Amino acid sequence: MKTQFKNKVDIETRISFGIGRATALVLEERPWGFFEKFYKTKHLCSLKSLRWTSTESFYCKSALLQLKQQSHEIIKLAELIEVDDKIVALRSNISNTAKAQHEKGVISTNDLLRELNAEDQAIQNRLLHQIQLQLSQYAYQNISGN
């Protein structure tokens, strides 16, 4: 774009925009002097403010996207913990039944140990998901700045 100023300074400005900010700037001035430097400084300041605004906007959009992703992760883990609670309850019922059957000689010790290990695995999975939920909550707070 060519601009004519009152003191007949001819400034040609080319700006190529990348991801939300000005990436290249070429200023050609004729003749050299105080006014030309003033206009060059003015253009550079406006480009810096443009870059700051677009960087700030990019950061805000990125933070909002990360918050949305973290909130979905928190919801998913909370639902998973509810399912884990039901699984642990069922596994403990199965283990209690297996203990009673082992005492009566209906099942072998290997079968009893397999059911007890399955119950322990379900408890460990629930604990793992609770820790992951806490990590996700801390990550959400970190992103939001709280």
- pTM, rounded to two decimals: 0.60
Q: Is 119 exposed, middle or buried (0-12, 13-18, 19+ CB in 10 A)?
A: buried
Q: Could you state, in order of their start, the residue ranges of all structural domains in the chain? A: 2-57, 63-144
Per-residue pLDDT of the chain (146 residues; tens, 9 = 90+): 444 444 444 444 444 444 444 444 444 444 444 445 445 555 555 655 656 666 777 778 888 888 899 999 999 999 999 999 999 999 999 999 999 999 999 999 999 999 999 999 999 999 999 999 999 999 999 988 87
φ and ψ of 105, to 5 deg: 85, 15
Cα(28)–Cα(40) distance, integer angstroms: 9
106 secondary structure, DSSP code: S
Question: Can you say whether residue 64 is alpha, beta or left, with left for phi > 0 and alpha for psi between -120 and 50 degrees?
Answer: alpha
